[in-house]
Amino acid sequence: MIDEVKLLLVEDDPIQRRLMSMLLETMEEVRLTVAADGLEGLELAREQEPDVMVLDLILPELSGMELLKRYRRMGGKARVLALSKAAGEAVHAAAIAAGADFFLCKPALWPEVRRTIRALAGGLSRRCDMLLEEMGAPGHVGRHQAARCAAYLGEREDARPLLKAAYLETAREEDTSVDCVEKNIRKLIEGLAAKPSPLFARLFEGKTPTNKTFLLALSEAARAWEE
């Protein structure tokens, strides 16, 4: 299990709020706080500094979209899962542009909500690292950086164009260069391909994948792995 997660749920519909609260409370690692409108949600986000926020975009007093914009402007760092009955690419894109890390249409399936919360809270990086260990990756910096990059990609809705952003974020966190991160991951992949484990062979069918292919497959496998 991942460490305790401070989670803020902002949902105005009383039935949905009660149902979501009951489901979230089944996650033993979650410490839950609930808000019933946008203004209350923004105030609680400011006061409690949650790790993850589950945010309905259609709220009274202050819309979820405006809450998110104000929260990011004031420096809020929580990872945000945005939920909305309003589907479509425009709403999705607006939520991501406002600062959401992930977007799901209502009604969202509970297993997907749970997996996304765990990914946003950091559990995805740990599972990526465990999969790398299963592949036989030695515990050096390349493995750690690969787990970070794969988790970064897995936490975002459309990961395909984000490889350079994943390298940059990992480089910043580890005080190194993007070039070093890319080369370390390349060296790791080539080492795994030289003596492929059953898991590596199953994922890549005997081929040596590109960095992008490897990291996307790793993040997908980690997201599908229920703890």
Fold of 5-120: Rossmann fold (3.40.50)
At residue 126, does pLDDT exceed 80?
A: no
As a whole number, mean pLDDT of residues 10-15 equals: 94
| Residue corresponding to tokens 């990011």 | 72
Task: Determine the angle formed by the axes of helices 110-120 and 123-135, rounding to 10 degrees.
Answer: 80
As a whole number, mean pLDDT of residues 33-39 equals: 96
At residue 216, does pLDDT exceed 60?
A: yes
pLDDT at 100: 87
* Higher-confidence position of 35 and 120: 35
Fold of 123-224: Arc Repressor Mutant, subunit A (1.10.10)
- The answer to whether 87 and 105 are in contact (CB under 8 A) is yes
| Residue corresponding to tokens 């990914």 | 119
At residue 75, does pLDDT exceed 60?
A: yes
Q: Is the dihedral of CA 173, 179, 184, 188 positive or negative?
A: positive
Domain range annotation of the chain: 5-120, 123-224
- The answer to whether 184 and 137 are in contact (CB under 8 A) is no
pLDDT at 74: 93
* Higher-confidence position of 35 and 144: 35
Q: Which of 41, 47, 121 is nearest to 81 (CA)?
A: 121
Q: What is the DSSP letter of 142?
A: H
Q: What is the DSSP letter of 217?
A: H
pLDDT per residue as tens digits for the range 183-212? 999 999 999 999 999 999 999 988 999 999
Tell me the C-alpha distance between 110 and 27, whole Å: 12
Tell me the C-alpha distance between 195 and 51, whole Å: 39
pLDDT per residue as tens digits for the range 146-175? 998 998 887 766 555 678 888 988 888 778
At residue 6, does pLDDT exceed 60?
A: yes
Phi, psi of 104 (to 5 degrees): -130, 140
As a whole number, mean pLDDT of residues 46-64 equals: 93
At residue 1, does pLDDT exceed 50?
A: no
pLDDT at 161: 65
Which pair of tokens denotes residue 192? 């795994």
- The answer to whether 199 and 131 are in contact (CB under 8 A) is yes
* Higher-confidence position of 59 and 118: 59
